[in-house]
Structure 1
Amino acid sequence: MSNAPELSRRLGTFDASVIGVGSMLGAGVFAAFTPAAAAAGSGLLIGLLIAGVVAFCNATSSAQLAAVYPSSGGTYVYGRERLGPWAGYLAGWGFVIGKTASAAAMAMTFAAYAAPAGWERPVAIGAVVVLAAVNYHGVTRTAGLIRILVVLVLLALGAAVAVVWGGQGAEPSRILGDGLFAHGWYGILQSAGLLFFAFAGYARIATLGGEVRNPKRTIPRAIILALSVAVVVYVVIAITLLAALGPEAVARTATPLADAASSVAAWAGPVVKVGAAVAALGALLGLLAGLGRTTLAMARGGDLPQWLDAVHPRYHVPHRAELAFAAVICVVILVADLRGAIGFSSFGVLLYYLVANLAAFTQPPADRRYPKGFQVLGALACVGLVVTLPPLSVVLGVLVFAAGIALRLIRTGRRRP
């Protein structure tokens, strides 16, 4: 265990909720509806409902666990405490690989909207470097910037919705398209798995548990509040997109909300694009903070190199972990595919929440805040959504998890006398 200074508890309910909302209103609200519509057509509305229910079950499990284990690391800590070292490690590994892919996707989404043609990857890397520097200087700086970004994103989304409905760009008959079940239940479940990528941001609140004031009360409140705001926003945006473009057109464009707004008013498209760039920055900032804290916890648990177990004496942040993963994300940006990153991220994060649900299920009555049925439903849904993800995402996820298992076996083997 390191003798470095501990993380400082500076975040209240509002700031913690803002970090969660900022993480959920990232690239997902501007990009995730495209692959979801391709998979399910108008059935993405059912997929969105399923993703929201699964997210709620997972959120209640995380909230229940965080109230008892209010330290940084999230489900990595919960899994170790309730299920053993291997369960914690697999949760932590799933979070690290999934959120590394998410962070790269967020940076590339920002660059897609903000960079000149041909400069997307350098601009994406520049965004990672700048936001890593913000995180390096303390969690209150992170929360303050995310607060500003969330307000700007909500204004851009509100403008797009108002333009589409107020400018008569919406046609309610387009919402159902060929029917909710035209693509079958497999397509609907695949859309739910893809849209779950958008809801996973509330995990950032739990991973910041070591920096929240009065965590037993603050973390559960912040998780449920952030998820509630995100669900409302996503439902409104989904209905608006389908009414403006129809499911087939949503599936064909990488920028559905910008297309929907610009079809009614030319000025609205650029506004939405700015909102998308800002949303991606906010989500990226939250992801960098969560990755650093989980990495710190895993290093302290002996599951990642001891060098990463360090807290800056002045800024009270896991500076080595944050810098290391900022470098890894930059490498991923150089080789990654944006749309493939969504499926790969969902694979890792769904397994992360599977461990969270199983861990919450084992808690005694004195620590229980929600019925066990929520944890059972959440666990079963996580498994079901994983197997319906695009095949390439599943294959890559299995291979990366196998590599993680091999690495831990090597590390534990070396520690044996």
Structure 2
Amino acid sequence: MAEKRDFLDELIDLQSDWRSLKELPSSMVGSLVDEGGDQKVFNPADYKEKPFANSGRCLRVASGRADACSRCFDVCPTHAITIHNRSVAVGEDCRKCGLCTAVCPTETLTTRRHTPRQVYDQIARAASAYERCYVTCTRAIKRLPKGNEVVLGCVGSISRDMWFSLMADYDNISVYLPVGICDRCRTTTGEQTYTDAIAEAEQWADAALGLEVDDADLTHDFTRAYKRSQFVSGALHSAERLVTRTTPALAGAKAVAKKISDHTQRLNRLQKEIEGAVGARTTGNHLRVLTQGRKLMMGALQHNEDLAARIELSVPTWDPTRCTMCGDCARTCTTHALDLSRDGKVTIQSAYCVSCGACATACEEGALSMGPMDVSELVVPDRAAEELARKKAEAKQQASRYLETGKKQLNRVADALEKLDDDA
């Protein structure tokens, strides 16, 4: 349902029309005069980045077994990833598509400018400020992107967990890929990767991701809330702008930045709550690793707990009658979700488990097997938010009591005045 317009919306439209007319002469001059190379040009290399490896997180390296995991090998279109002498390397024939970073469960492969958190924040900014946010690739757009277009080496570089987080938090995200663009792409495994990830994320989030195939159908309008924030800021702080040379556009940008900052703080509180509940280290003093993808997923579940029932994940279960306490499972688990205590007891912390199944593969005795995870365990209460809500409720009750007391006092004064009037 369209939002009801008011007088402020009419003023915003008038301001936009006037600004367009005022800027028309300069735009015409800019189209006729050569800027001498000052204009920025589209370069696909600006949106791609070769991943690097943290070999200590690799399941194959930790277990010494080729069957522990092969996801990056299977998805790489050029077979650029190799493991030699317990070290993971990415060759020079890498296409910088980022598919390996999306499928690696332990985030062994990553980049500096396109980490899961950075990509999430980039998409979230666009989705917060614009009516529609588009995720696309360099081959699809072939021009400088607009403010609401997020360009990646391949759409498949976004993992299933991140798609779920984005769809759970925003309902205005679409993928822009012209018809047949993936058929002619040399990243031959990209289409299957993103279709599988999006399909599962849509099922988990109970939502549908938009799809656009024609550049003419893309819209680039700011959201109503964003435009109103800019307009109100400009009306209230016009005098300040004369002194500081600030612009009303900063108000909308600050509002979006605050939203992203609040999300980051919420995720940081979430990790602290988990560490406080289960401990940040194992009994062997290994630091547990909460992957960025898992943290984003859990962050989305905090304010929509009902989605936990739709998510299907697996977790290892332990059979003590078969366990020989060899420790292969604990050595294989590079996120240290699995802990083998000194007395021979195996425990698994679901928040840190990435459902890779490598520990079960490494167990020769069959003491570990993968079974359904109770995803509701990933819903961690935000104590800070609960405390804030409690204080707000108490303040509301106190204000109500003060209001009721004031009403009673006013009634007594009115009764006294009425009695004086009768006596007179």
Shared fold by TM > 0.5? Answer: no
Q: Pick 1 or 2: higher relative contact order, CA cutoff 8 A, min separation 6.
A: 1
TM-score (norm 1): 0.26
Q: Find the structure with the greater CA-based Rg.
A: 2
